[in-house]
Chains A and B, each alone.
Chain A
Amino acid sequence: MRVESADVYNSAQIQIRMIVNGQSMEATIEPRELLLDFLRDRLGLTGAKRSCDVQVCGTCTVLMDGRPVSACCTLVYEAQNRELLTIEGLADGDELHPLQQSFVEQSALQCGFCTPGMILTANSLLEEIPNPTRQQIQHYLKGNLCRCTGYWSVLEAVELAARRLQAEGQSEGSA
């Protein structure tokens, strides 16, 4: 039967490879493991947080091949041969990413629990739309809840980062 030729994994073990924050790695995982637990408990990357657990709040957002996903509802299995970016991998050493820098300057955070997810989603937005309108930002970030700020400072920070990234891009282009 053909079925035998299909790969069957029992829950014990799967070997996967992936790139996490620029580093390639291998891991032995179980199919049932959730990406959020894997990142937090096994890799010690605790920037992604657990909150709503139903893909509404966005505190567990990480980027998988550049797209924001809810790590709370993603199997680690999905990360096979993919590139993951968590908040810990966004800065360039001690130099903050322009989004991080603008969140600091605009005080676009309070308790900070939603901040990693908010910044990563915004990062994905700016990669796709470098100069978004306010409405586009609101639409893109709709799935990242923040109970503290009321969002104004967040929108301003994203706009500031967009301006800076564009200016950077232009100066690089002319260099």
Chain B
Amino acid sequence: MLNIILKRLGLAIPTLIAVSMLVFVVAHLAPSSPVDIIAGEKATPEQKARLAHEYGLDRPLPVQYGSYLWNIVAHGDFGRSFSRSQQPVSEMIKNDFPVTAQLALQAILFALIIGLPVGVFAALYHNSWFDRLAMSGVVAMVSVPSIVLGPVLVLFFAVRHPILPVSGWDSPKYTILPTIALGSRTAALMARFMRASLLDVLRQDYMRTAIAKGLSKGQAVWRHAIKNSFLPVLTVIGNSFGALLTGSFIVETIFQVPGIGYTSIDSISKRDYAVIQGMALLVALIFTVVNIAVDVLYGVIDPRVRSQEARA
């Protein structure tokens, strides 16, 4: 097991280095240098040159990249924000990341709580009215993006029935609407996959054997089918994570949640590249780690995958 984790991490490092290079190069292709933004329009060329020297921006790009990467790895230093009075980016990450993480985890939890039972019952009562209703709902929810669902929730809960707050992040009550806005699509996807997967398992021979040896249908499903049908659903969690991260940018903007998405969008409008770079790297890191975690969990749940990985 440990071998698999280490191997995965080993493969991830070159990818992450390439991502950091990509982000760095893209950010430095910008037609205006950060110096223009810090110094303002009226600065003389001499002042700009001095500032560029201060920030190390007059060094060759590979050198800048090297020191940027070294500072991150050795000191956890992602540079400083230009727009927020020199606040270290690492500090901003420390403040914002827990908020986004909480939002994403709540959204996944919401998706699991809603999506799994719906999928299970739709499969158990295949072709019933519930199945049909649930699957129509799934199709609709999969196509409703958060930039539509978010405003609609705001409209409903802020204007029509003002019972839930629609902006801020003060108490658990504030997290309800953003969680729903972010998690609904994943819930729908989970319901769909859980249903398909459980239907598949229910047709297996070992299910017939389980019932033949005297288990009730409920016992057979509970003991044998649920766990086996959960594997594809796990992939959905992994695949949804990218969408959840992107979605959190939108949901945080709509509901003014002070997470990494909100800060990133704010920094983009202020052209604060140190922050954008740091946040982009953070997103790539989270994404990669989650994918590894899903692969590892796969092995935990399904021993066949584990032995395959070990052989590979």
Whether both chains belong to one complex is answered with: no
Residues of chain B whose beta carbon lies under 8 Å from any beta carbon of chain A: none
Q: Which A residues form the contact surface with B (CB < 8 A)?
A: none
